[in-house]
Chains A and B, each alone.
Chain A
């Protein structure tokens, strides 16, 4: 099985030093990514989703950031210790990334065709003309009408959805093995969202590109992914296949998230009023100087004594596919799971 993984993240920890103290933005995150798989990472703002991905590519600004530990294995190499040149050769070619805001992700003073062909030229020794031709080809592939003419346009002449398509074209222009999509549809409206997600899914299945899809929209996850990691306060609290996660959520946080989705037919969840939309009480903890406790315990409806005293370990649980959860309720040591 292991040889099937294109990316393996083990115990990744990224910390930031701030005026208030040490912020453990990512603290011991592990996951694997299989070839051609779409892995979802969900979590609320500040849960460490983006920092995880930036750490993989070595794009975290140090200082104030610091990779405090862990390994990111790609082709049997640890990317965390790799020299900058090696990473640079990798970025965009083997692992590429698309960002949340398509409006600012393109350089306003460079023509669209040039921006795409530049990404190509950085990694392949293609001439200006060949790269330009390839850029037009990419524009056609992502469904931009009249690509030859549009390649000569500036970003401000494109709509938001089209700019995100262009970003995808740039990211995929070198046939990367891994695409990291950091909330690719957050800034777009719903119909465009669906188109962009379709595009990512089609391209991924066509070229066997593995995708890490970061989002805070569980609906997107249900429609796109096979595996999901739920992040909370810099940790993966639950990791399972989509079916397991949606039909049998184990971690109270996951349950809370699922209960917070408005549904046509709904059962009273977690003791809530059936006529009202459930929301998880409280707000995420400050990541500064976190105590040795389950970070979710102040908001957890089923918090126990042990949750306040120690962090729950990552526990493997039975499921359709191997799944893990970080919760004392399921750790075996926890008293009475009921």
Chain B
């Protein structure tokens, strides 16, 4: 029942295929890469893409193969995006649900703390966190995760506040259900849809944030390749060798697109109220 419904939803399917392709690239990159992504080769610097030379996406100013570097960077981007979103979602949803369900003082203070985090533009906040923590790959996860916490907290709190006033919560209570049961069995499934949408959105925004941080030199440090620092390096030579910027850029665009399509599709699939409409 589940699989055909998923297959019939062309939006979700195309999103899943795109994300799946990237995952396949990650797996392949563990075992095989066309060239060594960090080995410099000054004889072949800034070569245009060609099949004859084997550099399908060309080389950068140090003669490193762009395709290999993109493939190597895929893993970093995906892992950072997934773990940052997971961190933000777990902490943020816990906070939001707690605040919304208990209400009162907890609600007040947790949400004011979220407001403080919210008042910074997300990139600025991430830069600030990176500056405090230091420029390490895993700190990018923490930085993006912290940006995400208030977003998830606010969304899940709002959803809980709406859902918990429903009569079925009282009905469940009158049937002898305890708070924990009501929270996990009745409330969480009802707020899953906005959270999933937020997760898919966050996954794609995390890719962009990670790239931005690396672009600014705060994220993944060269020579370790990431899409962001590749773009950053390409800035100087973009006019004479556009492939150095175009291919990493396309890698970002398609992954972001894939996550967004997947999220949209999942939202349609998971909401039982929308099921009969299409």
Residue pair B166, A122 in contact (C-beta under 8 Å): no
Asked if A90 is an interface residue, CB under 8 A from chain B, the answer is: yes
By beta carbon, the residue of chain B nearest A123 is: B176
Interface residues of A in 135-173 (CB under 8 A from B): 154, 156-157, 167, 170-171
Chain A residues within an 8 Å CB radius of B4: none
Residue pair A59, B174 in contact (C-beta under 8 Å): yes
User: Which one of B94-102, B127-135, B182-190, B196-204 contacts A?
Assistant: B182-190
Chain A residues within an 8 Å CB radius of B276: 157
Residue pair B272, A96 in contact (C-beta under 8 Å): no
User: In the complex the two chains form, what is the Cα distance from A92 to B172 in whole Å?
Assistant: 9
How many residues of chain A have a CB within 8 Å of chain B? 31
Of the candidates A59, A108, A122, the one whose C-beta lies within 8 Å of that of B272 is A108
Chain A residues within an 8 Å CB radius of B175: 91-92, 96, 118-119, 122, 170-171
- Known contacts A99-B167, A109-B190; A89 and B176 CB within 8 A of each other: yes
Residue pair B178, A107 in contact (C-beta under 8 Å): no
**Closest-CB distance, A158 to chain B (whole angstroms):** 12
Q: Specify which of B166, B174, B185 lies most central, judged by the most chain A CB atoms within 10 Å of its CB.
A: B174
Chain B residues within an 8 Å CB radius of A100: 167
Asked if A75 is an interface residue, CB under 8 A from chain B, the answer is: no
Chain B binding surface, main DSSP class: helix
Residue pair B176, A110 in contact (C-beta under 8 Å): no
Residue pair B176, A88 in contact (C-beta under 8 Å): yes
Question: Using an 8 Å CB-CB cutoff, how does the interface string of A80-92 with B read, 1 for contact, 0 for none?
Answer: 0000000011111
- Known contacts A99-B171, A101-B167, A109-B190; A156 and B176 CB within 8 A of each other: no
Interface residues of B in 163-217 (CB under 8 A from A): 166-168, 170-178, 181, 185-186, 189-190, 192
Interface size class of B (residues with CB under 8 A): 20 to 34
- Known contacts A89-B176, A96-B175, A99-B171; A156 and B272 CB within 8 A of each other: yes
Of the candidates A59, A96, A105, the one whose C-beta lies within 8 Å of that of B168 is A105
Asked if B2 is an interface residue, CB under 8 A from chain A, the answer is: no
**Closest-CB distance, B163 to chain A (whole angstroms):** 9
**Closest-CB distance, A179 to chain B (whole angstroms):** 11
- Known contacts A154-B272, A156-B272, A156-B273; A106 and B168 CB within 8 A of each other: yes
User: In the complex the two chains form, what is the Cα distance from A57 to B176 in whole Å?
Assistant: 10
Residue pair B177, A57 in contact (C-beta under 8 Å): no
Question: Using an 8 Å CB-CB cutoff, how does the interface string of B76-116 with A read, 1 for contact, 0 for none?
Answer: 00000000000000000000000000000000000000000
Q: Specify which of B168, B176, B272 lies most central, judged by the most chain A CB atoms within 10 Å of its CB.
A: B176
Asked if A260 is an interface residue, CB under 8 A from chain B, the answer is: no
Chain B residues within an 8 Å CB radius of A123: 176
Q: Specify which of A93, A100, A110, A123 lies most central, judged by the most chain B CB atoms within 10 Å of its CB.
A: A110
User: In the complex the two chains form, what is the Cα distance from A96 to B186 in whole Å?
Assistant: 18
Residue pair B167, A59 in contact (C-beta under 8 Å): no
Asked if A240 is an interface residue, CB under 8 A from chain B, the answer is: no
By beta carbon, the residue of chain A nearest B193 is: A109
Residue pair B168, A107 in contact (C-beta under 8 Å): yes
Question: Using an 8 Å CB-CB cutoff, how does the interface string of A98-128 with B read, 1 for contact, 0 for none?
Answer: 1111001111111000000011001100000
User: In the complex the two chains form, what is the Cα distance from A88 to B181 in whole Å?
Assistant: 12
By beta carbon, the residue of chain A nearest B174 is: A97
Chain A residues within an 8 Å CB radius of B186: 107, 110
Chain A residues within an 8 Å CB radius of B178: 88
Residue pair B170, A99 in contact (C-beta under 8 Å): yes
Residue pair B189, A91 in contact (C-beta under 8 Å): no
**Closest-CB distance, A84 to chain B (whole angstroms):** 8
User: In the complex the two chains form, what is the Cα distance from A7 to B28 in whole Å?
Assistant: 71
Q: Specify which of A90, A93, A96, A104 lies most central, judged by the most chain B CB atoms within 10 Å of its CB.
A: A104
Interface residues of B in 125-153 (CB under 8 A from A): none
User: In the complex the two chains form, what is the Cα distance from A167 to B170 in whole Å?
Assistant: 12
User: In the complex the two chains form, what is the Cα distance from A122 to B178 in whole Å?
Assistant: 10
Interface residues of A in 162-203 (CB under 8 A from B): 167, 170-171
Of the candidates A93, A105, A157, the one whose C-beta lies within 8 Å of that of B167 is A105
User: In the complex the two chains form, what is the Cα distance from A99 to B185 in whole Å?
Assistant: 20
User: In the complex the two chains form, what is the Cα distance from A99 to B176 in whole Å?
Assistant: 15
- Of the A-B pairs whose beta carbons lie under 8 Å apart in the complex, a sample of 8, sorted by A's number, is A59-B170, A59-B174, A97-B171, A105-B170, A107-B189, A108-B273, A109-B190, A110-B185
Further pairs besides A108-B190, A109-B192, A171-B175: 14, Cβ < 8 Å: A59-B173, A88-B176, A91-B174, A91-B176, A93-B176, A97-B171, A99-B174, A100-B167, A109-B189, A110-B185, A154-B273, A156-B272, A156-B273, A157-B276
